[in-house]
Amino acid sequence: MTIQVGDKLPSVSLTKMTNHGPEKVDLAGYVAGRRIALFSVPGAFTPTCSAKHLPGFVEKAAELKAKGIQEIIGTAVNDVFVLSAWAKAGGAEEAVTMLADGNGEFVKAIGLTLDGSAFGLGTRGQRFAMVVNDGVVEKLFVEAPGEFKVSSADYMLGQI
């Protein structure tokens, strides 16, 4: 079943790169008590994700924070080393916290997987974004296949 507005985020383990190396993070606990923006892409370093999705959240970080967003989280079904390199390459290290969903547990738990096997990508996450307040989905923006409209930082800003 696909996650809906009003649902709680699941307690799944994601991985964050720290100064001491990879660190496991329980998503439900990590977002508890805070209002966050979370976006997910099919893959780091892929064309739309690198040219539009990540840069939009970097550019709009201050505006999102002015609207009450305390942290911006980016995720993908990639390993933590890839997401860390992507954040660095995209100039996102200060604006976006990358949480790797290396095994796709998060996107499976919320019903937003994507079959990218036709492109050699295997199971990935769909392109989506959400505003989460104290672990509960406040706003949810899921893209139609092949589109990039409703999961952008600009769109999110217009909805909060």
Per residue in 9-62, pLDDT (tens digit) is 999 999 999 999 999 999 999 999 999 999 999 888 876 766 677 889 999 999
Q: What is the pLDDT of residue 14?
A: 97
Instruction: Report which of 119, 106, 120 is spatially closest to residue 39, judged by C-alpha positions.
Output: 106
With residue 83 as reference, give the H or E element that holds it. Answer: helix 80-89
What superfamily would CATH give domain 13-159? Glutaredoxin (3.40.30.10)
* 129 within 8 A of 95, measured Cβ to Cβ: no
When pLDDT is averaged across residues 57-74 and rounded to a whole number, the result is: 96
The structure's pTM equals: 0.93
Instruction: Report which of 118, 99, 97 is spatially closest to residue 107, judged by C-alpha positions.
Output: 99
Q: Supply angle C-alpha 159, 125, 127, rounded to 5.
A: 30
When pLDDT is averaged across residues 84-110 and rounded to a whole number, the result is: 94
Percent of residues, the chain, with pLDDT higher than 90: 75
> Which of left, alpha, beta for 146 (phi over 0: left; psi -120 to 50: alpha)?
left
Q: What is the pLDDT of residue 43?
A: 83
Distance CA(57)–CA(73), nearest Å, equals: 9
When pLDDT is averaged across residues 94-98 and rounded to a whole number, the result is: 95
Distance CA(75)–CA(25), nearest Å, equals: 13
Least confident of 8-12, 44-48, 75-79, 126-130: 44-48
Q: What is the pLDDT of residue 55?
A: 86
Higher pLDDT among residues 53 and 153, named by residue? 153
Show me where the domains of the chain are located: 13-159
Q: What is the pLDDT of residue 49?
A: 60
Catalytic-residue membership of 4: no
Given 12, 14, 38, 49, which residue is catalytic? Answer: 49
When pLDDT is averaged across residues 105-133 and rounded to a whole number, the result is: 86
Strand order of the β-sheet with 13-18 is: 21-26, 13-18, 97-100, 71-76, 35-41, 128-133, 136-142
